[in-house]
Amino acid sequence: MKRSVIALIVASLPMVAFAADELNGSVWKTVDDKTNQPKALVKFKENGDGTLSGTIQKVLAPDAKQKCTDCEGKFKNKPLVGATIVTGLKNVADNQYANGSIVDPESGKTYKFKANLSDDGKTLNGRGFVGVSAIGRDQTWYRVN
């Protein structure tokens, strides 16, 4: 009996390792919703409180600003690479994320952010908005890894 319990515990350990959020560690190519051009690579990580944050790993647009010159506060004149632009994103249901915020490096403004992960895990459809979701804009990001 004791061996069976130990075997069951050992067998369930791999499931715990995979319990991390699907976005954790994933890298996404952001695409400008107006020009359809690639903008940056953003990598998500899961924080200790269970929320997700997204950090710019690389700027892809050749003519893009390298610093957040229009940003306020901690982002003011800081390099875009290494900037955490998504914070507080929480998995609220199967493939649905909400309660986050996102900084737009073009304008320096911060918006509320929610997103839906496609069933195949290859696209992330995000919406940045002010106040209510109806007043905002959408972007589709594409999984790199």
Of the pLDDT bands very low, low, confident and very high (cuts 50, 70, 90), residue 3 is low
Give the pLDDT confidence score for residue 42 in this predicted structure.
97
Using the predicted structure, report yes or no on whether residue 83 has a pLDDT greater than 70. Answer: yes
Q: Do 78 and 66 meet the contact criterion of CB atoms below 8 Å apart?
A: no
pLDDT of residue 5: 40
Over residues 99-108, the pLDDT tens digits come to 999 998 878 8
- 1-to-6, 9, 11, 37, 112 alpha-carbon distances in Å: 9, 13, 15, 60, 52
Give which of 75, 115, 111 is closest to 95, Cα–Cα: 115
Please tell me the predicted confidence (pLDDT) of residue 34: 82
Which of 20, 18, 26 has the alpha carbon at shortest distance from 141? Answer: 26
Is the model's pLDDT at 132 over the cut of 80? no
Residue-level pLDDT at 4 = 46
Hey, what domains does the chain have and what are their CATH numbers? 22-143 (2.40.128.520)
Average pLDDT (76-105) is: 93
